Chains A and B, each alone.
Chain A
Amino acid sequence: MAIDQIINNINLEFLIYWLVKIVGIIGSVLYLIFTLVLIKQTGVMKKTIEINDKNILTIIALIQFFLAIFLIIDILFFV
């Protein structure tokens, strides 16, 4: 029954919806992992050389982490 429904509903709009959804979820999760690595690595870099950046680099890295969270929420609930 479910398979019949899927086959009947297959059209361009349906395909595009799921394509955007799946690629969006995978992309957002990968981006989230990347931002976590980025936060960690920014800390390592700042430890290697102290450049008196007033924590701006850490804040930018954290902003990217929150952007990734926002992307996941957006793709899961609003797209």
Chain B
Amino acid sequence: MEEKINNKNQEHLHLHAFCLHPNVRFESQTKDEEVVLTLRAHPITQISWITIALIMFFLPVFFNIPLVDFLTNNQIFFINFFWYSFLISYVFLNILNYLFNVGIVTNKRIVDVDFHGILYKETTASSIDKIEDVTIKSAGYIPSLFNFGNVFVQTAGNEQNIEFINVPKPTEAASIINQLMKLYRHNHGHRPNN
């Protein structure tokens, strides 16, 4: 695993849900801070909204039939156009949620960026030396089958704990964080706060 941290080759897995040494930058990144890992929800967890979008795509085929008796062609065109515009927005919002709800592991910090809808943003960060414990939780048939789960990062003191939900390869992610903790301790010559 240490090889993966030291080896700077980029690795993008599961539709960019698990990226090693990605070419990304984030808002509060410092000059000497290097992104080691980015984590997003496993693509399989996006199935629910994709299914809803597919149903919404084909729904006008059915509701247009009775509308022909009541509405003019212009009115039907408008309703359908409105429907598909709404559908584009729904899909776009979900893609934004997927792309920007991201966990970032750097050589110095762990950052969790959460966007809920389009109006609520929450960023939680904790430095590597404040991390006390990393635990993973993967339960159920689907998480076991597709190898995804939750990574909980417990931090010392008043710092907020960090959670990466439904991320792929949780064991590998936890292992990378542990290795970074060891590297940090080795380089700075002290144990993390207990």
Q: Chain A interface (Cβ within 8 Å of chain B)? A: 12, 16-17, 20, 24, 27-28, 31, 34-35, 37-38, 41-42, 44-45, 47-53, 57, 60-61, 63-64, 67-68, 70-71, 74-75, 78-79
Number of interface residues of B (CB under 8 A): 32
Q: Contact: B71 with A20, CB < 8 Å?
A: yes
Q: Which residue of A42, A64, A70 contacts B88 across the interface (Cβ within 8 Å)?
A: A64
Q: Does B81 contact A (CB under 8 A)?
A: yes
Interface SS of A by simple majority: helix
Which residues of B have CB within 8 Å of A63? Answer: 88
Query: Which 7 A-B pairs rank lowest in CB-CB distance, beginning with the nearest?
Result: A41-B118, A50-B25, A45-B100, A67-B85, A48-B27, A49-B26, A79-B78
Q: Contact: B115 with A68, CB < 8 Å?
A: no
Instruction: Tell me, in angstroms, the Cα distance from A68 to B81 when the chains sit together.
Output: 10
Instruction: Tell me how far the C-beta of B19 lies from the nearest C-beta in chain A, rounded to whole angstroms.
Output: 10
Interface string of B108-148 (1 = CB under 8 A from A): 00000101001101010000000000000000000000000
Which residues of A have CB within 8 Å of B85? Answer: 31, 64, 67-68, 71
Across the interface, name the chain B residue whose C-beta is closest to A50.
B25
Q: Which residue of B71, B75, B82 contacts A28 across the interface (Cβ within 8 Å)?
A: B82
**New A-B contacts (14) at CB < 8 Å, excluding given A42-B96, A50-B25:** A20-B78, A20-B79, A37-B118, A41-B118, A45-B115, A47-B27, A49-B26, A49-B27, A51-B24, A61-B92, A64-B85, A64-B88, A74-B81, A78-B74
Interface string of B70-103 (1 = CB under 8 A from A): 1110110111011001101100110010011010
Interface string of B1-27 (1 = CB under 8 A from A): 000000000000000000000011111
Instruction: Tell me, in angstroms, the Cα distance from A61 to B102 when the chains sit together.
Output: 20
Which residues of A have CB within 8 Å of B92? Answer: 38, 60-61, 64
Q: Contact: B121 with A44, CB < 8 Å?
A: yes
